[in-house]
């Protein structure tokens, strides 16, 4: 049986009523991983023993306990920058190659309460910094649809895991497109929830004012079910809004009659590949045929977005990654004779090139005399961009947009041009 055959809710229902066993679903998942992962490198660790034990435990639970589990026995993959107690959490970096957190992230606790079975941790650009998974210290993830091409990033491993049919659901994180872009490249559904909807407690921080955990799935219904489970109120995250999303299966079958969808004119200007443009235009026509109204809208400050984003995210990254110094946990250089050398060499040897680049950029924009000129100004521009969207939503219910300017490109094609790589996040 393929995970594509039926919705996640139906599979979980069969485990609850005894028609299907969690152990069988998990074995199917582990066999699929063993078959395809050597080719695509979606997983950095496969938790086979853990998954088999947990599946066996779920199968022995009484019916009344299973009935409370919306993901009863379902295999799930988790991005490897989300803390999992006593299990590897490497962020695909040498800096955390042997790190096993002493606690679970809030979303992992939520998945366990829901009855999910974690079968593996997925590949990502190191510390989630990248758009292609090529910055992983453990090698790039290949697109399951076309070997040799990127799966996207930074949640490329999670998107590829779902696209390759190794799991029906995966969890990723998104700072500036890291769920949405690989989901687009791999042909799956991915969503960055509104900031504060899902707790960030236990997510290894990249840019704290932008990071969000979100779902990846084969279809919108399954993504909605997973978001419902992930979006639990959490007092341990001071930025958590405490506003859960409630999955309602009936909402997905409603007509689009009366729905107004905005199409930003700035998004369809120079720089958008013809292949992407035609795909989005085709979708617009399909939406019209199902009753939606398509209107042109303007987001006049969007051309500032990429500059503001890279100032904000690198500044926050330089602050967040200061904790990796060889003292408290993680990698420590063995080639140092003094404390200062230990700091320097640990960070030199432990971080990859892209992480170093972003830390240096962020340190510069936060340095004395430059904070107001760069970080503060970028924060103000972010507010202007937010206002553009608020104005747009007075005219429409949703916005139709490309996810990335080009289709998936070949692995290695843009590695020597960081600026071109950064521009893939423009939407």
Residues designated catalytic: 79, 154, 178
Helix (H, G, I), strand (E, B) or coil at 33: helix
Euclidean distance between CA atoms 192 and 171, whole angstroms: 11
Cβ neighbours around 269 below 10 Å, total: 10
Euclidean distance between CA atoms 150 and 352, whole angstroms: 19
Euclidean distance between CA atoms 162 and 155, whole angstroms: 11
Q: Which two tokens stand for residue 46?
A: 């496969």
Helix axes 305-320, 353-366, angle to 10 degrees: 100
378: region left, alpha or beta (phi > 0 left; psi from -120 to 50 alpha): alpha
Euclidean distance between CA atoms 389 and 172, whole angstroms: 25
Helix (H, G, I), strand (E, B) or coil at 86: coil
Euclidean distance between CA atoms 161 and 183, whole angstroms: 11
Euclidean distance between CA atoms 118 and 186, whole angstroms: 21
DSSP of 356-405: HHHHHHHHHHHSTTTTIIIIIHHHHHHHHHHHHHHHHTTT-SEE---SSS
Helix (H, G, I), strand (E, B) or coil at 186: helix
């Amino acid at each position: 049986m393929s995970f594509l055959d039926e919705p996640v809710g139906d599979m979980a229902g069969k485990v609850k009523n005894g028609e299907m066993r969690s152990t069988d679903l998990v074995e199917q998942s582990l066999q699929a991983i063993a078959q395809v992962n050597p080719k695509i490198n979606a997983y950095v660790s496969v938790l086979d023993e853990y998954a088999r034990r947990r599946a066996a435990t779920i199968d022995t639970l009484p019916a009344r306990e299973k009935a409370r589990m919306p993901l009863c026995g379902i295999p799930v993959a988790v991005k490897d920058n989300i803390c999992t107690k006593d299990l590897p959490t490497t962020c695909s970096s040498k800096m955390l190659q042997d790190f096993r957190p002493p606690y679970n992230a809030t979303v992992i606790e939520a998945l366990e309460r829901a009855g999910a079975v974690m079968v593996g941790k997925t590949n990502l650009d190191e510390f989630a910094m990248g758009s292609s998974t090529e910055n992983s210290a453990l090698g790039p993830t290949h697109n399951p649809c076309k070997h040799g091409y990127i799966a996207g990033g930074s949640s490329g491993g999670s998107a590829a895991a779902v696209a390759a049919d190794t799991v029906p659901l995966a969890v990723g994180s998104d700072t500036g497109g890291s769920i949405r872009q690989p989901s687009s490249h791999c042909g799956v559904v991915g969503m960055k929830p509104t900031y504060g909807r899902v707790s960030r407690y236990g997510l290894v921080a990249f840019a704290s004012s932008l990071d969000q955990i979100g779902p990846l799935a084969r279809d919108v219904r399954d993504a909605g079910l997973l978001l419902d489970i992930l979006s639990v109120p959490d007092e341990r995250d001071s930025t958590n809004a405490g506003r859960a999303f409630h999955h309602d299966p009936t909402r997905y079958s409603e007509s689009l009659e009366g729905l107004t969808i905005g199409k930003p004119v700035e998004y369809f200007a120079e720089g958008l590949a013809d292949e992407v443009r035609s795909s989005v235009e085709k979708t617009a026509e399909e939406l019209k045929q199902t009753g939606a109204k398509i209107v042109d809208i303007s987001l006049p400050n969007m051309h500032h977005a990429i500059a503001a984003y890279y100032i904000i995210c690198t500044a926050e990254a330089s602050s967040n990654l200061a904790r990796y110094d060889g003292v408290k946990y993680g990698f420590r250089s063995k080639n140092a004779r003094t404390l200062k050398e230990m700091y320097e060499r640990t960070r030199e040897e432990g971080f990859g090139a892209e992480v170093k680049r972003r830390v240096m950029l962020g340190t510069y924009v936060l340095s004395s005399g430059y904070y107001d000129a760069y970080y503060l100004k970028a924060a103000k521009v972010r507010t202007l961009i937010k206002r553009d969207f608020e104005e747009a939503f007075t005219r429409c219910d949703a916005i139709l947009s490309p996810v990335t300017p080009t289709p998936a490109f070949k692995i290695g094609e843009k590695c020597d041009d960081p600026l071109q790589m950064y521009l893939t996040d423009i939407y």
